[in-house]
Structure 1
Amino acid sequence: MTERLEIKAALTVDDAGTITGIAWPFGSPDRVGDVIEKGAFTSPEVLPMLFAHDQAQVIGVWDEISETPDGLTVKGRLLVDDVERAREVRAMIRTKAVSGLSIGFRTKASKPRQRGRTITALDLHEISVVAVPSHPGAQITSIKAADGTAPHEENHLENEAEIETKNDPVVSPEELKALKADIATIKAKLNRPAAANNNHAAADNDNSERKAFVSYLRRGVERISPDEAKALTVSTDANGGFLAPEEFGSELIKLLNEYSPVRSYARVVSISAPEIKYPRRVSGTAATWVGETDDRTESGMTFEQVTLTPFELATFTDVSNQLLEDNAYGLEGELLADYAESFGKTEGLAFVKGTGTGQPKGIMTASGIKEVKTGVADAFPAANPADVLIGMYHQIATTHANSGVWLMNRQTLGTIRQWKDGNGRYLVLDPITAGGASTLLGRPIVEMPDMDDIGAGKFPILFGDLSGYRIIDRVGLSTLRDPYTLAGKGQVRFHARKRVGADVTHPDRFIKLKVAA
């Protein structure tokens, strides 16, 4: 009989340093009605800190776990000095992209409730950092930096409408054994002196896949050693090829943000299926006033499905054999820059104006988004043009407006920068700190090069909460070395591909401006 690992609470990620939080509050049920009683937890002295219950993403360790009147209180450390993923999780916490704690356990004893169960005994196996917890009260309570200071203490409330139900994963004995080995490795690193942790002399062992990938690019799979071939990750591409190692994938995403800023604000999800479906509520229940003995009016909820499908994006680069033979040539950096530019520009255009046929659906072409008009056929009104933007801002709900951003291209921004209020103050405010975003009506402005210019019938500006736009990544950067096609010209062709899709999941979070009377 296969044991089941149950995921019952949510975990939030934090920046480098110490994380203190409540992994499970006592006295209240979670979203499915389960209650865990005080005294039910049995756990080892040290537990792994995972991201999203993924055993391949160990980002830290929980070394203080205790039951208090408030709940299961935990304290742990992110391995930001040794694990790249831990540093990424810290960044997501700083931007509040994730804000919950989640526990993974096996139930030993429980009894049914009217809704859910009362769990009286369980074995705790791991605690994860997740975006949305099963228990709304499972939150980080304080975050301490490496120097011991506490930048802020707060509770983050989750929006239940955003919760996505996922099946409980099945964990095999072999996976549990590997997880225990990861814990032992983490403890060994934490017990080493700081100088030893900062010594990267042994890093070459961790970069074996990167070195093998570079050798593959330079010489081809037929000329690399068997050990190097084993270090490569085979692509799921039916045509063959190998996936770029993590170092390449991370750098690609960083470069993509320069061309496709939508990724920095939208919700990005990795999937492992040909498509993914999300339920969307169309209408909810409706209560009506009635007399003491009047008939009640029936009401119900209706739903529809939003289907997101990944599409393929591909390019190739030809490199001469002489360049490949030059060991001083930074081939991998040049390939990454070339791929990032090709993928980023094409992907960025699709995220804005994509048709949804053979490419992602663009945010400006998605259906259901409300629009307002400038009132002038080919421009803004000459008198008080800013009133149009103020009207846009108040067209969407306060919650989404408080998280919204303005999308426009640089040409449009140049026009709006010249507008002033009645007191002669510019509407667009420059950032207070270097590298920050300019703001309009208190919300950031995101320069999107693919947005329309101001002109008759055009849509030059969009305002809204970009969490309502979802991007799905199916296959990361995959490369294929072809030394045969151009062999007669002394060249090698490198193919690159990825699969990505996108669509608007919450059109009510956006409002767009049309230049029209």
Structure 2
Amino acid sequence: MKSNLAIELKGADDNDSAALVTKALGDFQQAFDDRLKAIETKAASNDNAKLIERLDKLEAKAGRPNLTGDNDNDPKIETKALNNFLRGGVTSLDDIEKKTLNAGTPASGGYVVAPEYSSTIIEKLTQFSPLRALASHMTIGGSEVYIPVLDTGIEGGWVTETGARGTTEPTFDQLNLKVYEYAGYVPVSRQLLEDSFVNLQAFIAGHVQKQFGKAEATSFMVGDGNGKPTGLLNTPADYEFVSANADGSDILAKVIEAFYKLPGAYAANGSWLMRRETMGVIRAAADNATKGTLWSDSLANGTPATLLGRPVYESVDMSLLPTVAGTAYPVVFGDMASAYQIVDRVGVGIMRDDYTGAGNGIVKFHARRRVGGAPVLAEAAVLVKSVKA
């Protein structure tokens, strides 16, 4: 198709350049006007009623005020919903906003949000008395051990140059320490062991170590010797003691008395054992005292505080102070290596049993320990005694 906008530069006045340019521009303007008029005529002849009607509806809807509460077309609803969700969670959203955030609705998108699980199991604190670290201990190869004890020592006498010398002989006794077994087993389904994202076998092993340690520590302090070790405080009447008020009002004076009641050779290696609550009572009393620095807190992590220059250890198996009722022994001071003997036969061992429970799909973890202990020298410790009617 030949364009109507073509410019013809030839004419009668070819020799007149100005007239030629003027004529060309006039022809171009006339052709442009004709073409524009033709386009307008063609557009006017088309049926645009539907397009005009649709544009009118969109314009009316955009300008209409929101009187029905329908916020589906509110461009700010997503921003508002996200802000409320981040500030207060799902409970802070209204019904309209919940339609916008659908992570809590499985069918509306919640299935694509995967939870995360930790492989670390939170355990409650396991506390036990520190007597094993302070007492003497030995490993034996049988079920019991006999320890000789010097009952009466050798005694000489003053004599003259040629006087008769008397004879003297020591007398001996012996202590018998037996070992006892502490045992139990944990049944776990085989499928749980296979599918768990937590290393259950390692967790059970570590947990058994803690709980067995706690059980033996309690026996070392207060065990009655019946199928278990005999505790340091099982027979408190065997020890020297000082009496204190049950409310703890004179505890500072009494721990000083106990310190000097113990022979110096034992006191030089002595340790204090008491509950943490009793530590607080003594610490507060020491702060209010004018007798110098009796209590000294440690500046190094893991190093115990000292009372009268000797270390203080927390023992959860001791009695409380102030005393609640009856007779209590809230504080003990002594050379624990001389006062108590521990004998080890078999350490904590864990055996995995895949067979006896296989018929029911069960794996058993058997744990056991053989250990014994008993007080051996009562003169090496002193107790603080309190009585509340």
Structure 1 residue 392 displacement after superposition:
0.8
**Quick check: 1:479–1:495 contact (8 Å CA) kept in 2?**
yes
Structure 1 residue 477 displacement after superposition:
2.2
1:513 paired with 2:379, answer no
User: In structure 1, how many angstroms separate the alpha carbons of the residues matched to 2:192 and 2:293?
Assistant: 53
Structure 1 residue 367 displacement after superposition:
6.9
Structure 1 residue 327 displacement after superposition:
8.0
**Quick check: 1:475–1:500 contact (8 Å CA) kept in 2?**
yes
User: In structure 2, how many angstroms separate the alpha carbons of the residues matched to 1:328 and 1:413?
Assistant: 43
User: In structure 1, how many angstroms separate the alpha carbons of the residues matched to 2:386 and 2:130?
Assistant: 24
**Quick check: 2:127–2:316 contact (8 Å CA) kept in 1?**
no
User: In structure 1, how many angstroms separate the alpha carbons of the residues matched to 2:135 and 2:224?
Assistant: 18
Residue equivalent to 1:353:
222
**Quick check: 1:284–1:300 contact (8 Å CA) kept in 2?**
yes
1:389 paired with 2:255, answer yes
What amino acid is the match of 1:267? S
Structure 1 residue 494 displacement after superposition:
1.0
1:493 paired with 2:360, answer no
Greater share of residues in strand: 1
**Quick check: 2:127–2:214 contact (8 Å CA) kept in 1?**
no
**Structure 1 residues 390 and 260 mapped into 2: Cα distance closer, same or farther (>3 Å)?**
closer
**Quick check: 2:242–2:257 contact (8 Å CA) kept in 1?**
no
State which of 430, 447, 468 in structure 1 corresponds to 2:297. Answer: 430
**Quick check: 1:310–1:360 contact (8 Å CA) kept in 2?**
yes
User: In structure 1, how many angstroms separate the alpha carbons of the residues matched to 2:206 and 2:292?
Assistant: 41
Residue equivalent to 2:271:
405
Superposed, 1:251-290 pairs within 5 Å as: 259-290=128-159
RCO greater where, 1 or 2, for CA within 8 Å and sep 6 or more? Answer: 2
Structure 1 residue 295 displacement after superposition:
4.5
**Structure 1 residues 260 and 344 mapped into 2: Cα distance closer, same or farther (>3 Å)?**
farther
Structure 1 residue 293 displacement after superposition:
5.2
Residue equivalent to 1:320:
189
Matched residue of 1:480: which SS?
Answer: strand
Deviations 1:196-253 (A, max 9, x none): xxxxxxxxxxxxxxxxxxxxxxxxxxxxxxxxxxxxxxxxxxxxxxxxxxxxxxxxxx
Matched residue of 1:499: which SS?
Answer: strand
Q: Normalised by the size of structure 2, how large is the TM-score?
A: 0.61
Structure 1 residue 323 displacement after superposition:
3.1
Superposed, 1:328-347 pairs within 5 Å as: 329-347=198-216
Identity rate, percent: 34
Deviations 1:157-200 (A, max 9, x none): xxxxxxxxxxxxxxxxxxxxxxxxxxxxxxxxxxxxxxxxxxxx
Structure 1 residue 263 displacement after superposition:
1.4
Greater share of residues in helix: 2
**Quick check: 2:205–2:350 contact (8 Å CA) kept in 1?**
no
Deviations 1:39-82 (A, max 9, x none): xxxxxxxxxxxxxxxxxxxxxxxxxxxxxxxxxxxxxxxxxxxx
Structure 1 residue 302 displacement after superposition:
0.9
Superposed, 1:196-235 pairs within 5 Å as: none
**Quick check: 1:366–1:503 contact (8 Å CA) kept in 2?**
no
Matched residue of 2:175: which SS?
Answer: strand
1:451 paired with 2:318, answer yes
User: In structure 1, how many angstroms separate the alpha carbons of the residues matched to 2:290 and 2:227?
Assistant: 50
User: In structure 2, how many angstroms separate the alpha carbons of the residues matched to 1:287 and 1:473?
Assistant: 39
Q: Aligned pairs, how many? A: 259
**Quick check: 1:405–1:466 contact (8 Å CA) kept in 2?**
yes
User: In structure 2, how many angstroms separate the alpha carbons of the residues matched to 1:385 and 1:501?
Assistant: 33
Residue equivalent to 2:283:
417
Matched residue of 1:288: which SS?
Answer: coil
Q: Normalised by the size of structure 1, how large is the TM-score?
A: 0.46
Deviations 1:10-61 (A, max 9, x none): xxxxxxxxxxxxxxxxxxxxxxxxxxxxxxxxxxxxxxxxxxxxxxxxxxxx
Structure 2: where are the runs of 5+ without partners? Answer: 1-125
Residue equivalent to 2:334:
464
Structure 1: where are the runs of 5+ without partners? Answer: 1-256
User: In structure 2, how many angstroms separate the alpha carbons of the residues matched to 1:482 and 1:412?
Assistant: 45
1:476 paired with 2:343, answer no
1:306 paired with 2:175, answer yes
Structure 1 residue 361 displacement after superposition:
0.9
What amino acid is the match of 1:464? G
Larger Rg: 2
User: In structure 2, how many angstroms separate the alpha carbons of the residues matched to 1:258 and 1:516?
Assistant: 26
User: In structure 2, how many angstroms separate the alpha carbons of the residues matched to 1:498 and 1:319?
Assistant: 21
**Quick check: 2:244–2:384 contact (8 Å CA) kept in 1?**
no
User: In structure 2, how many angstroms separate the alpha carbons of the residues matched to 1:375 and 1:324?
Assistant: 55
